[in-house]
Amino acid sequence: MGHLTFSRRSLLGAGAGLIAAPSFATLGAVNERPIVSTSAGKVQGITEGAVYAFKGIPYGEPTGGAARFLPPVPRKPWRDVRDASSYGPRCPQHNFLGGPENPTHSEDCLVANVWTGSLTGSKPVMVWVHGGGWEVGGSNDPVTNGAWLARNHDVVLVSINHRLNVHGYLNLAEIGDERYAYSGNAGALDIALALAWVRENIGQFGGDADRVTILGHSGGGRKINAMMTMPAASGLFHRAISQSGPGIRLDSREVSLDRTERLLRKLGIPKSDFRRLADVPTRTLTATGIEVRNETGQWRPFVDGASVIQHPFLPHAPLLSAHVPMMMGTTLEETAIFLGHVPAYDNMSDAQVLEESLRFFPPGEAPRAIETWRKMFPDHSNAKLYSRLTTDRSYLLDVTLQAESKAALGAAPAYLYLVDWLTDTGSIKDVAPHGIEMAFTFGNIEAHSGVGKVTPEADALRTAMSGAWTSFARTGRPDHPHMPTWLPYEPSLRATMLFGKTVRLESDPFAAQRSYMARFGSEQLGEREPRPPGPWIR
C-alpha cells in the first residue's frame, strides 16, 4: 500500500481492507525420510505437509534424579541414527497426575522440533516457546505446528520443550553447593541451551544462525521477555516477538526461597538433607509443587543478578538486549478465555462481574471502573464487558507500558499490535480471546476452535499476519504488501497495527482506556505473579 500520510492524531489507513493474496508456491512432493547430522548425532525425520519435519530431537540431557534442578547440559552423542518422527515428552505437569503413568510426560523432556522446506540455503529461523504460564504446556499443539509456515514462507520453524513448575524453578542456591547456584532459573536456562543448540545446528536444516527470532504466546511471551535479560541467551537471537505475554517483572529472591521452604516442609525433608529431593518420585514432586503453587502463585524465574540480570521491563526495558527489535501485542478480550468454561459466563450477573473484577484493581476502584466501561460500551453483555474491562486493565495496559519502555531506549524499534478478530464459533463467541491470533500467525486455521473455517476473510488475515511475522524474522521489519506500513511505536503517535476483518494502522486507538488504567500502574507490580481469573487449575 506504500507509505501513508498522517497527522499526529490521525487514523493511519483506518479503512484499509484486506485484499486477496497471491498463493505461495508449494514445494514438490518429497518421498524420502531425510537424515541430518547434528552435534550429538544423526536424526532421521519425516515429510509433513510437503516439508521436512524432525521431532523430539534431544538438545539436553535428562533432568531427573541427581540432575534435578541443576543447569541443563548438552545431550551426549549417540551412535546410531535417531528416529525423529514423533514429538518428545512434555515436562511433568498437572495433567500428568490425573490417571495412569503417562509416557508423554518425562524428566527427559529437553527436546526440539524442526520444520524446514529444504536442508540447504540460509533461511530465517523462528524459535517458538510454548505458553501455559511457567506451569504447563508443550510443543505438540496442532495450532503451532510449523509445517504451514515453513512451506508458505520459506522459514525454518523450531519449537521446544523445557522444564516447568517446580522442576524448573526450585531455588536451592542458599542450601546447596555451587552446582545449585542457578537452580531457581533452570527452566529458563533450558530455553537458553535450546537457543545454543539452534546456533550450532540450524545450518544443517537450511537455517541462518545469524537470523534467529524468538517468539512465544502468553507464558511463552513472558519467557521471551525473560530471555532478553539473560546473559546465557544474549547473542543467540536477533529479534523477539511477545504475543499476549507482557512480562513486566519476575520473582524476587525472597519469594523464591519461600516456595523452597514450603516444598521441603510438605515433603518432610530438612534443608540439611535436601539431596533427598533426587529420590522423590516424579509424580509426588509434581503434585507437591502444585500445592505450593496454589498457596504462593506460579513457580517462575527470579532476579539473581547473574543468570537473570533484571526484571524484564522494570524499571526499564532490558539493556542487555536493547539492540534487539521487538514486536508485542494483545487481543481485544484476552480474559474471556479464562471464563469460557464457567457455565455462568454466558449470563454473568452484575454481582459476578464485580466479584471477578475485584482482583484487578486497588481496593474500592473496581465499581467505578465497571461503571465507566458500561458508559463506553453500552451494548456489551456483562460477559463481554468484563472481558474488555479486565483485558484493558492487565494485558492492554502492560503491553503499552512495555512498548513505551522499549521505545525509550532508542536503540531498536518496538512494534505494537492488537487483534480484534471476533470469534463466531466455539465455546465463547463475539470476542477476540486469548490465543486467537496463533491460528493466523501459524496458518493452521482449521486447528483452532475459535476460527475453524478458511473463509476468504480468515485466509486474508492469515496472509497478512503470517506475512508480517515472517517478514520481521527475515528483515527485522514487519512489512507486508497486503497491509499498511507498520510504523514503530513511540509515545507521541503510539502507532498500533490492528488485525481483524480489516488490517489498519491507528494512532493510540484505545487512548481513553489506556489513560484510565495508567493511573493504577502495571498489574504486575506485586511481588507474586497475578493469578488468572476464573477457576484455578489444581
Long-range contacts of 42-45 (CB under 8 A, 24+ apart): 42/80, 42/81, 42/82, 43/81, 43/82, 43/83, 43/84, 44/81, 44/82, 44/83, 44/84, 44/85, 45/84, 45/85, 45/114
- 246 and 147 within one domain: yes
At 19 the pLDDT is 30
Do 291 and 370 fall within a single domain?
Answer: no
pLDDT tens track for 507-534: 999 999 999 999 999 989 887 777 665 5
pLDDT in tens, 373-384: 999 999 999 999
Contact at 8 Å (CB) between 116 and 124?
no
C-alpha cell at position 488: 514503530
Each residue's pLDDT tens digit, 206-250: 999 999 999 999 999 999 999 999 999 999 999 999 999 999 999
With H, G, I as helix, E, B as strand and everything else as coil, classify residue 138.
Answer: coil
Question: 140 and 234 share a domain?
Answer: yes
**pLDDT surpasses 50 at 538:** no
- Please tell me the predicted confidence (pLDDT) of residue 27: 37
d(CA 303, CA 33) in angstroms, rounded, equals 44
Cell numbers standing for residue 453: 473455517
| 529 within a domain of the structure (yes/no) | no
Average confidence score pLDDT of the chain: 90
Looking at the structure, do residues 276 and 332 belong to the same domain, yes or no?
no
Q: Has residue 165 been placed in a domain? A: yes
Q: Out of 268, 302, 336, pick the residue that ends a domain.
A: 302
Contact 229/223 with Cβ under 8 angstroms?
no
pLDDT at 17: 33
Say what the alpha-carbon torsion angle 400, 404, 407, 408 is, to the nearest 10 degrees. Answer: -170
DSSP 198-218: HHHHGGGGTEEEEEEEEEEET
Mean pLDDT of 59-73: 97
Residues 225 and 119 occupy one common structural domain? yes
Q: Please tell me the distance from the alpha carbon of residue 531 to that of residue 500, in angstroms, as a whole number.
A: 29
Q: Are 255 and 330 found together in one domain?
A: no
**Any domain includes 307:** no
At residue 99 the predicted structure's pLDDT band, cuts being 50, 70 and 90, is low
Structural domain includes residue 197: yes
Residues 30-46: pLDDT tens digits?
Answer: 458 999 999 999 999 99
d(CA 274, CA 271): 5
Q: Looking at the 3D structure of the chain, how many domains does it have?
A: 2
Q: Which residues contact 368 (CB under 8 A, 6 or more apart)?
A: none
Give the CATH number for residue 255.
Answer: 3.40.50.1820
* CA angle (273, 276, 281) in 5-degree steps: 155
Same domain, 130 and 206: yes
Q: Is 462 among the domain residues?
A: yes
pLDDT digits (tens, 9 = 90+) for 244-291: 999 999 999 999 999 999 999 999 999 999 999 999 999 999 999 999
- Residues 15, 82: one domain? no
Q: Would you state the torsion angle of the CA atoms of residues 443, 449, 452, 457, taken in this order, to the nearest 10 degrees?
A: -70
Which structural domain, as residue segments, surrounds residue 133?
Answer: 44-302
Question: All 3 cell numbers of residue 63?
Answer: 533432568
State whether 342 and 296 are in the same domain.
no
Same-domain status, 49 and 18: no
267 and 356 assigned to the same domain: no
Would you give the DSSP letter of residue 114? E
Across residues 431-457, what is the average pLDDT?
91
- Looking at residue 105, the DSSP 8-state letter turns out to be B
- Asked if the model's pLDDT at residue 24 lies above 70, the reply is no
Does 78 fall in a domain? yes
Whether residue 103 lies inside any domain: the answer is yes
Torsion of CA 234, 155, 240, 1, to 10 degrees: 140
Residue 3 located in a structural domain: no
**Confidence (pLDDT) at 4:** 25
Q: Are residues 63 and 185 in the same domain?
A: yes
User: CA 200, 170, 56 angle in degrees (round to 5)?
Assistant: 35
